[in-house]
A and B are shown apart, each in its own frame.
Chain A
Amino acid sequence: MSTLPAKSFVLACAALLFTAQSTLADPLDPFKKLSGSLDIAGGTAHIPVMKGAAQEIMQANPAIRITVTGGGSGVGVQKVGEGLVQIGNTGRALKESEIAKYGLVSFPFAIDGVAVAVNPNNNVTNLSKAQIKDIFAGKITNWRELGGNDAAISLYVREDGSGTRETFESRALDKASSTDSANVVNSNGAMKTAIARDPNAIGYVGIGHLDASIKGVAIDQKQPTQEAAAKGEYPVTRLLYMNTKGQPEGLTQAFVNYIFSDNGKALIIKAGYIPYAKK
């Protein structure tokens, strides 16, 4: 009788040792023998993930230098195509012409979903895409028109160049821009604070930033959840891509692999995105 728990204990220990062994292969190991510099440019939504990875890698091996700059998807394609940087980030799939012209290879690594959010005390739970367009164009100005209380809508948007704003305007507003009388906040955190404090607020945050302090609104009955975004059911999402000129080699390849490693996934989740498995 008493040997059974002992046996299972030994088994458990062995199992633990085994899993420990497998996680011991540090994703930073491939960088140990590498040196040199790597330049990354392009999409702004990518920056937190790229910067985080760059810091971890440079900390592990000071002989490696990685620079990360923004500029937007267009700049990403152009710079990597002309060989000015090794990785050009885009928030959209490459166009046929771009692939043909430069011979680029794409690595989608994360799903960026943006949720429309309101104050938790707001009784509006669903909006149609047309309603959202009218709200952000400044055509609908009262919650009464949307089945809410008789109160003026407080509109909050993100600053120009923000990846979240880019995703929201291209997917939810069909590339229309928001009215210039909307209040502008400069981070997902500031957006959450603004919406949580203002009962009549509407704005948008990365899906990963939704919590109890604000309420995500369904778009055409599609709930803004990580699962729905990953399955492609929720409409306001896009893939984030890294692009290289030809198949990546050396440091560039190691960096791309690092983004797909467990460390990279943690950075992607921390930035509010959903990791996308390598194909």
Chain B
Amino acid sequence: MPKSDRAAQKRQDKDSEASLWIRLATFLAVLAVVALCGMIVIAALPALLASSHTPFEWVWQPYQGHFGILPMCAGSVLLALSALALGFPWALAIVIWHLTEEAQALASARKGFGIFIRLLTTVPTVVLSFAAVFLLTPLLRTAFGGTGMCLLGATLMLSLLILPTMVLVMESGLSQRLDALCPHALALGLSRYQLLCHCVLPKNRQTLIQAAVLGFGRACGDTLLPLMLAGNAPKLPTGFTESARTLSAHMALVTANEVGGAAYNSLFAAGLCLLCTTIAVTLVLRRLAPAKDQKTHS
């Protein structure tokens, strides 16, 4: 066998070896996700099948035998959606400003802002919550009365938490597209802002939806912010200044003391609900993107 052939063979072996590792890594990741979902379903079965203590009711009073998690489901969805409703337009506005001429002209301010946003993604939620307990909660208390621990406070802080994630996803998706079209558009007399609003954004709904899905997922899954700020009353809130409990905060509160028993089992049903909520919202949001747009993007 000539030398060059042997080298080629060796390279091929190495390549196939590498592809084995890549496949294994992918397989393991998929397996982990499937196993996780399976485990949660299996663990939730006792609570779901129990004839006496159904978790699907509106009353949580463990000592009276009521283990309803529906108020917490409603709390989670309500809080995550309101955080998204507030955070999404906010993130979009920031990205648009970031990509227009005005920001381009202020190079150092733009760069500084980019660093700031990246830093913001690394702030632990416990720090955000702690700061909010001392700064935001008293403000809300004086403004709206009550205890200041309410849905509104948690919504404000959660939208701030998911803001940088959404900004980064949107920015990385939109800026390349914009830069590619820019010379032509400028030659036609369009400003970057016009190009962005009339061409890039309508053609990149997929990027925006990705940002929304990630933002919702973070908002829905976060535990410490709602635990420390939302008040945790296990009932359906009737307004934004009312106390509410999310599924994640509920699980944190109950696992602190319980091992075994109906209350503990109902937590797995809560986990399943949380998982289903995230998956459902992801599917609905993805549906919003037209298929054609998906194809061109990938």
Q: B239-271 interface mask toward A, CB cutoff 8 Å, 1 = contact, 0 = none?
A: 000110100000011101111110100000000
CB atoms of A161 and B254 under 8 A apart: yes
Is A75 an interface position by the 8 A CB rule? yes
Q: For B137, what are the chain A residues with a Cβ–Cβ distance below 8 Å?
A: 197
Answer whether residue B37 sits at the interface, using C-beta atoms and an 8 A cutoff: no
- A172-191 contacts to B (CB < 8 Å): 177, 180-186, 190
Given known contacts A152-B145, A177-B64, A186-B253, is B133 in contact with A197 (CB within 8 Å)?
Answer: yes
A50 to B22, CA, bound (A): 47
Residues on A with beta carbons closer than 8 Å to the beta carbon of B173? none
Of the listed stretches B200-208, B228-236, B287-295, chain A binds B228-236
Given A177-B64, A193-B133, does the pair A160, B149 have CB atoms closer than 8 Å? Answer: no
Size category of the binding interface on chain B: 35 or more
- Chain B min CB distance to A137 (Å): 13
Q: How far is the CA of A87 from the CA of B149 in the complex (A)?
A: 40
Contact check, B261 vs A71: say whether CB atoms are below 8 A apart: yes
Chain A stretch 151-207: residues in CB contact (< 8 A) with chain B? 152, 154-156, 159-163, 177, 180-186, 190, 193-194, 197-198, 200-201
Which of B63, B138, B233, B258 has a CB less than 8 Å from the CB of A184? B233
| A69 at interface, CB cutoff 8 A | yes
- Counting residue pairs across A and B whose Cβ atoms lie within 8 Å, the total is 83
One of B60, B138, B146 near A197 (C-beta < 8 A): B138
A52 at the B interface (CB under 8 A)? no
B148→A161 contact, CB < 8 A: no
A44 contacts B by Cβ under 8 Å = yes
Q: Assess whether B243 is in contact with A181, with CB atoms less than 8 Å apart.
A: yes
How far is the CB of B262 from the nearest CB of chain A, in Å?
12
In the assembled complex, the Cα of A177 lies from the Cα of B65 at a distance in Å of 13
Residue from the list A70, A183, A197 in contact with B231, Cβ < 8 A: A183
**Is the Cβ of B233 less than 8 Å from the Cβ of A182?**
yes
Task: List B contacts of A197 (CB < 8 A).
Answer: 133-134, 137-138
Cβ–Cβ contact A177 & B61, under 8 A: yes
Judge whether A162 and B234 touch: CB under 8 Å: no
Interface: B89 (CB within 8 A): no
Please count how many residues in chain A sit with their CB below 8 Å of the partner chain's CB atoms. Answer: 29
Which B residues from 126 to 181 make CB contacts under 8 A with A?
Answer: 133-134, 137-138, 141, 145-149
Measured in the bound complex, the distance between the Cα atoms of B232 and A163 in whole Å is 18
Instruction: Give the distance in Å from the alpha carbon of A69 to the alpha carbon of B258 in the complex.
Output: 9
A198 to B231, CA, bound (A): 13
Q: Which residue of B lies closest to A186 (CB)?
A: B253
> How many angstroms from the CA of A71 to the CA of B259 in the assembled complex?
6
Q: Is the interface of A mostly helix, strand, loop or mixed?
A: mixed
What 1/0 flags go to A220-260 for Cβ under 8 Å of B? Answer: 00000000000000000000000000000000000000000
Contact A201 B147, beta carbon cutoff 8 Å: yes
Inter-chain CA distance A44–B228, complex, in Å, is 22
Taking CB atoms, residues of chain A closer than 8 Å to B63 are 160, 177
A144 and B167 alpha carbons, distance in the complex (Å): 49
Question: Is there an interface contact between B149 and A183, defined as CB atoms closer than 8 Å?
Answer: yes
What per-residue 1/0 map shows which CB atoms of A14-54 lie under 8 Å from chain B?
A: 00000000000000000000000000000010000000000
Contact A161 B256 (CB under 8 A): yes
Question: Please, how many angstroms separate the alpha-carbon atoms of A156 and B149 in the complex?
Answer: 10
B38 sits at the interface (CB 8 A): no
Write the nearest CB–CB distance from A91 to chain B, whole angstroms.
12
Assess whether A184 is in contact with B259, with CB atoms less than 8 Å apart: no
Residue in A closest to B242 when the chains form the complex, CB atoms = A181
Query: Are B147's CB and A183's CB within 8 A?
Result: yes
Task: Decide yes or no: A160 and B62 within 8 Å by CB, A71-B258, A186-B227 being known contacts.
Answer: yes
Do B258 and A181 have beta carbons less than 8 Å apart? no
Minimum CB–CB distance from A77 to chain B (whole Å) comes to 14
Whole-angstrom distance between the alpha carbons of A69 and B228 in the complex? Answer: 25
- B230 to chain A: closest residue by CB: A183
Judge whether A159 and B254 touch: CB under 8 Å.
Answer: yes
Q: How many angstroms from the CA of A194 to the CA of B243 in the assembled complex?
A: 14
Q: Which residues of B contact A156 (CB under 8 A)?
A: 147
Residues of A within 8 A of B133 (CB): 193, 197
Contact status B263-A160, CB under 8 Å: yes
CB within 8 Å for A180 and B253 given contacts A71-B258, A193-B133 = no
Instruction: Give residues of chain B (87-146) contacting chain A, Cβ–Cβ below 8 Å.
Output: 133-134, 137-138, 141, 145-146
Which 8 A-B residue pairings sit nearest by Cβ, starting from the closest?
A161-B257, A184-B232, A154-B147, A183-B231, A159-B253, A44-B257, A69-B259, A180-B235
With A152-B146, A160-B257, A198-B147 known, 18 other A-B pairs at CB within 8 A are A71-B259, A160-B62, A160-B63, A161-B256, A161-B257, A161-B263, A163-B257, A177-B61, A177-B64, A180-B60, A183-B147, A183-B232, A183-B233, A184-B233, A184-B253, A186-B253, A186-B256, A193-B133
- 20 A-B contact pairs sorted by A residue (CB < 8 Å): A70-B259, A75-B261, A159-B253, A160-B254, A162-B257, A177-B63, A177-B64, A181-B243, A183-B147, A183-B233, A183-B243, A184-B232, A185-B232, A186-B232, A190-B228, A194-B149, A197-B133, A197-B137, A198-B141, A201-B147
